Chain A
Amino acid sequence: MSYFFQIVVSGIVVGSIYALAALGLVLVYKSSRVANFAHGQIIAAGAFITFFLTVRLGVPIFFSFLASMLITFFLAMSVERIFLRRLIGEPIISVIMVTIGLASIFDGLIYLTPFGSENFSFPDFLPTESIVVGGVSISWTQLVGVIITFVLIGAFSWFFKKSTVGISMRAVSDDQFGAMSVGISVPRVFALAWATAGLSAAAAGCIIGNVTGLNFETLHAFGIVVFPVVILGGLDSILGAVVAGIIMGLIQQFASGYLDGNFGLNGTGDVMPYIILLIILLFKPHGLFGVHEIERV
């Protein structure tokens, strides 16, 4: 039974990271209807900036965490300003391809630095021994990661529900013309959405980097695996991203915990999200909490 609970715990850890990573994608999609295929690269950039500040420049990790969030905030904002703003109103394939192209550019830039090809890990700043409760163990890094994730998600939800900027972002996602008519600057909201997405991506990157170690391949793979998560939760629902992130983390851990090695299967944890994605798309394409807006042909 403790094996079961161990899987539940690690599922929640992985899932909450997915939730945080998916949050950025949902933010961008919700306001500007752009699916950002370069999200994984922004996550990686955030993680590497934190690592660089902490290890090479000796900044305390808490401050470098905040600093990297600030840097990716402006990075994502400038990406929106330079590349995406010109494409407002273009066909969706152009927008998707631009973000894929951006992912490729970021790949190239990160490969130019030593971070592209080597493995790194953050210095330990938390106790290294695990907490064991009733046979189920969780490391301090994981625990703190989950707590930070939930604090951040709570902060983001508050930001959207209560703050003026957040409300204007929701207004733009509801109706762009309506938002314009009450004096909201739509391009500014797009820029802000990208910026907050960058911020959450950096946070996700730092937490992934601390939990699993820094490797560019694993980090930018998160940019693809969040797509099943956001589809499951509904592309434009923040609550959906959180719930679906946790569900997806649990499914993945259960698949690799119980299916791998039995029935001659292996690596099911990697493929399960996509199988679920296909099933969701076939039967409930708007996801668990998404707005029903898909047209039938």
Chain B
Amino acid sequence: MSQNRWLATGNFFTSYKQEQRTFFTHLDRTIFTCFLVILFGWPLLFEISNKYMLVLDNILIAIVAVMGLNLLLGFAGLISIGHAAFVGIGAYTVASVCQVIGENHVIVTHFWPVLIVLAGLMGAAFGAFVGLPALRLKHLYLAIATLSFQMIFEWFIQFMSFFNQGQTIYVGRAHWLTGQVGRSDHYLFWYYIILTIVVILGFGVRNLLKTKYGRCLVAVRDNDRAADAMGMNPGLTKVYAFALAGFFAGVAGALHAYLYRGVGFDSFTLHHSVAYLAMAIVGGLGTLNGIFWGPVAIKYLDLQVEQFSELAGHYLTYAPNVATALKPLSFGLVIVLFLMYEPRGIANWWRIVKSYTKLWPFRY
């Protein structure tokens, strides 16, 4: 039977090899390529102010971090309320290198890819260490263990004079092939770098989930005893899931350090951990495209709330800091409403749209 490689009405796999393909139809591949071309190409066509470029960079960094959290929470089913601390570990790895050898040392400015990977590995090491209680604990207890890691991290950073007591530690400007990246190109440059990293890691996650190392995560989430009986080691798998999440968070932290050219303690508080959780949940747990929807939605909400509270500040005479009030309020409402009415997140809407258009002219 010759298949239509452009449109598929269902799954007709006859071998595992076919199922492991990245793109099932040519249409998928084309759409994805167009999408990537647009993402990489648009800054060449449109001018955008640095402020909004920074927002985009932030979204991309959050995507990297949420990738890790979604692996941990959505695919491995382990709760972490300390994700911002792992991001902080990554950022402070870069910061401590800067503290030791100086912020403008050639290693910091020229070999930043090495430092980003190093930060990822550092995050993974800490992730595995914090994941150790997962050998014995489940659910709520694990959540509280990660919570306490978050609090200890915050205390440690504020206490150590090596980390400047949580005050900003500066990180030098990165160099590219063309020399030092200037002030005006800074955000654009990092947009491309982070976008590339997101694409690479995104493919990495997608492929990981098709191998036994990814599937064992899902197996352990669904039923750890059954997974044990099938020859997986649930304890080890959980620690490994934490290490994976830590790696992604560490990379995100290093990117954050380079993007802001400094590391301060207030970007890695409990509040940020909750924000990452919210992004993962709003996007859709256990889905790949949810990784992208969540950060976009939450950051967009943040931006809108900021603009709205600026507007409200003009009209209200009594305005007790509307922005500080509306941010948590809208944020909490979004979390609660999503969990109550759409627990599968935005990814579910995407799924509905996709299944509608898949068979579009010839619906059943």
Contacts and interface: CB of A to CB of B under 8 A. Distances in A.
B140 A92 contact: yes
B79 interface: yes
Given A103-B332, A281-B145, A297 B152 contact: no
A297 B320 CA distance: 50
Interface in A17-34: none
Interface string A79-114: 000010011001011101110111111111101111
B274 A112 contact: no
B53 to A, nearest CB: 28
A135 interface: no
Given A105-B332, A111-B324, A117-B321, A297 B224 contact: yes
Interface string B327-341: 111111111100110
A281 B159 contact: no
Contacts of B133: 278, 281-282
B32 interface: no
Contacts of B155: 267, 270-271, 274
Interface residues of B, number: 56
Given A97-B281, A108-B330, A267-B158, A285 B137 contact: yes
Contacts of A271: 151-152, 155-156, 159
B320 A108 contact: no
B199 to A, nearest CB: 28
A198 interface: no
Main secondary structure of the interface of A (DSSP, over half): helix
Nearest to B156: A271
A4 to B, nearest CB: 25
Contact of A116 (B141, B324, B335): B324
Contacts of B137: 281, 285, 294
A267 to B, nearest CB: 6
A270 B360 CA distance: 59
Contact of A100 (B159, B235, B274): B274
A154 B151 CA distance: 32
Contacts of A297: 134-136, 138, 224, 228, 234-235, 238
Contacts of A86: 340
A271 B235 CA distance: 28
Nearest to A93: B79
B340 A83 contact: yes
A30 to B, nearest CB: 13
Interface string B120-156: 0000000000001111111111011101110110011
Interface of B: 73, 77, 79, 81, 132-141, 143-145, 147-149, 151-152, 155-156, 158-159, 224, 228, 234-235, 238, 270, 274, 277-278, 281, 285, 320-322, 324-336, 339-340, 343
22 contacts: A87-B339, A93-B73, A98-B339, A101-B278, A101-B336, A101-B339, A108-B325, A108-B331, A111-B325, A111-B329, A117-B320, A227-B148, A266-B159, A271-B151, A271-B159, A274-B152, A278-B149, A281-B136, A294-B136, A294-B138, A297-B134, A297-B135
